[in-house]
Amino acid sequence: MATLNLVQAINLALIQEMEKDDRVLLMGEDIGLNGGVFRVTEGLQARFGKERVVDTPLAESGIIGTAIGLAMAGLRPIPEIQFEGFLGPAYDQICSHAARMRSRTRGAFTVPLTIRVPVGGGIHAPELHSDSPEAIYAHTPGLKVVMPSSPYDAKGLLISAIRDPDPVIYFEPKRIYRAFREEVPEDEYTLPIGKARTVSEGNELTIVSWGASVVQCMQAIENSGRDIELIDLRTIYPFDIDAVEASVSKTGRCVVVHEAPLTCGFGAEISARIMERCFLHLEAPVQRVAGFDTTMPYYKLELDYLPDAARVGRAIEDCLAY
C-alpha cells in the first residue's frame, strides 16, 4: 500500500477512473501539460492524451457550460475550476442548469458531472484564492457537495463522485494538499457520499467539522485532554444528520467548526438540526467556531480569520463549562 498525500490520492483516483471508463475526461485551465496549478493532474495528459485531458479557454462559465453538454450526451466530464474564488462566473451554469436539469426534465436529461475545486485558506495565496463557499452550493437543490479531509477519503470520495449520476462539487482543501501522507490502497474503493466518518470517539462532547478544519480540531482535542468525539462530515450535502444525532444524543454537547463565514454557514444548519433532533439531550447550546462575516483577509491576517486549535479549544471549554 502506497503512502500518499491528498494531491497524489486524487491523481491516483483520476487515473484509475480514466482507465476504467473512457467516458471520463478532464477539462480545465492549465490542467494538461502544466498538470494544474497544484499539479493534481500531473502526467495525465501525457498518459491519456489531449482528447481526454483538455486545456480549455480561460472561462469558467464556458468550462461548466460545455461540461454540462458533455454530461447530457452521456460522458463523465470532470471539470476543474482553478480556485474556489473563480466559481463566480460559473455560478449560473452550476445553479441554473447543472443542478436543475434532472428536475426540470423529470429525469429525461441528467448531468453526471464532477466539478473539482481547490478550496479554503491557509496557503498564503492572493485574494479570491482562499474562500469557503460550500454552503452556497449546499443551499442549491440538485447538487451534492463533498469535501474530504484526508488522502484516503479523497480517493474514495472522488471515485464515488465520478460515478454518481448527479452533479457533485468536489472541494479539495488546498491547505492539506500536501500537509500529510497516509496509506492509500492501490485497489479501487469507494466511500459513500452522504456518510460521515467518526475520526475519534468520545463521550463528553462532539465536534462536527469538515475539510482542512478537521486537522485543527484533532489538534484541539489533543490539547484539551478531554474525551471528545470528532465527526468529519465528508459530505456537506446530503449530510449525515443521523451520525451527528447519534453522537450529540450521547455527549449532549456539540461544537461545529468550519472556515466559511458564520452567518448562514453550514454550521447554522447543523445547529438547527441538532435543536430539532437532540433538544432533550443537550446540556449546552451548540457552539460554532467559524470564519467571520468579513471578507476573507489577505494572507497577513488569514490565520487570524481561520479557526485554529486555540479557538476550537476555547469553544470546547465554553461548551463543557456551560
Partner 1 sequence: MPITTAYKTEIQRVSILDEHGNFDEKLGKDLIPDADLVRLYEAMVTCRVLDEIAFKLQRSGRMGTYPQNMGQEAPSLGASYVLNKDDWIVTCYRENCGLFWRGVPMESILLHWMGDERGNAMPREHFATPIAVPIGTQMLHATGLAWASKYRGEKRISCTFFGDGASSEGDFHEACNFAANLEIPVVFVCQNNFWAISSPGKVNCSAPTLAQRALAYGMPTIQVDGNDLFAVVKVMRDAAAWTREHGKPHFVEAVTYRLGDHTTADDARRYRDQAEVELWKTRDPITRIYDYMKSRKLWDDSKEATTRERAAVNANAAVATAEGIAEPHRQDYFNAMYAELPADLATQLATHNTHSLGQTEEAAHVATEALAKAHASHH
Interaction site with partner 1 (CB under 8 A)? 25, 51, 54, 56-57, 59, 61-62, 64-75, 77, 89, 92-93, 96-97, 102-110, 141-142, 144, 164-166, 194, 238-239, 241-242, 273, 276-277, 279-280
Catalytic residue among 124, 129, 258, 281: 129
Among 196, 201, 176, 212, which Cα is nearest to 308's? Answer: 212
Amino acid at 96: S
For partner 1, the closer of residues 8 and 41 by Cβ is: 41
Could you tell me which residues come within 8 angstroms of residue 167 by beta carbon, excluding any fewer than 6 positions away?
71, 94, 98, 99, 111, 112, 113, 114, 115, 142, 143, 144
For partner 1, the closer of residues 130 and 206 by Cβ is: 206
- Residue carrying C-alpha cell 456537506: 236
* 129 is an active site residue: yes
**Closest distance to partner 1 from the beta carbon of 90 (Å):** 10
Q: CA 58, 162, 114 angle in degrees (round to 5)?
A: 30
Quick one: angle between helices 213-224 and 309-321, nearest 10? Answer: 60
**Closest distance to partner 1 from the beta carbon of 261 (Å):** 23
DSSP state of 84: G
For partner 1, the closer of residues 85 and 120 by Cβ is: 85
For partner 1, the closer of residues 4 and 193 by Cβ is: 193
Could you tell me which residues come within 8 angstroms of residue 32 by beta carbon, excluding any fewer than 6 positions away?
41, 45, 50, 53, 54, 55
C-alpha to C-alpha distance for 140 and 216, rounded to whole angstroms: 28
For partner 1, the closer of residues 68 and 296 by Cβ is: 68
C-alpha to C-alpha distance for 152 and 184, rounded to whole angstroms: 5
C-alpha to C-alpha distance for 191 and 146, rounded to whole angstroms: 11
**Closest distance to partner 1 from the beta carbon of 95 (Å):** 10
For partner 1, the closer of residues 8 and 114 by Cβ is: 114
**Closest distance to partner 1 from the beta carbon of 155 (Å):** 22
**Closest distance to partner 1 from the beta carbon of 281 (Å):** 10
Query: Where are the strands (E) in the chain, listed by range?
Result: 2-4, 24-28, 53-55, 76-80, 114-119, 144-146, 168-173, 182-184, 197-200, 205-209, 228-232, 235-237, 254-261, 287-291
Amino acid at 121: G
**Closest distance to partner 1 from the beta carbon of 137 (Å):** 14
Q: Active-site residues: which are they?
A: 129
